[in-house]
Amino acid sequence: MRGRIIAATPMICIIIYLCFGFIGKLWHPSWVVFFLIPLMPLILGTRNIKHFYPLVCIVIYLIIGFAFKWWHPGWIIFLTIPVFYTLFPNRIIKRIE
């Protein structure tokens, strides 16, 4: 059941974002719902290391943005997510579980 909820989270976030945007004209503040995508496995209690790296990237991005106002060059941190999963596909994930 947890896996289905985690898999449906991106679609649910898109629907919520569009509803807030079209109905309430709240495009800017409603982008925060997209943080639920990497947070949902942690909220549901999944203890899998593969879900932590995107969360770490989000935290680093927010720290760089708020502390140094480097929002533009900070987004490059998100490009490391596919690189991480390419370099460490399943070895680390299976070892920790």
pLDDT of 96 higher than 60: no
- Give the pLDDT confidence of 70-80 residue by residue, as tens digits: 999 999 999 99
Residue 51: count of CB within 10 angstroms of its CB: 17
Residue 94: count of CB within 10 angstroms of its CB: 10
Burial 53-71 (b: 16+ CB within 10 A, else e): bbeebbeebeebeeeeeee
Residues in the chain: 97
- Give the pLDDT confidence of 80-95 residue by residue, as tens digits: 989 988 888 765 554 4
How far apart CA 66 and CA 18 sit, in angstroms, is 26
**What pTM did the predictor assign?**
0.62
Q: How far is CA 97 from the centre of its chain?
A: 21
| Cα-based distances in Å from 10 to 29, 94, 97 | 17, 25, 25
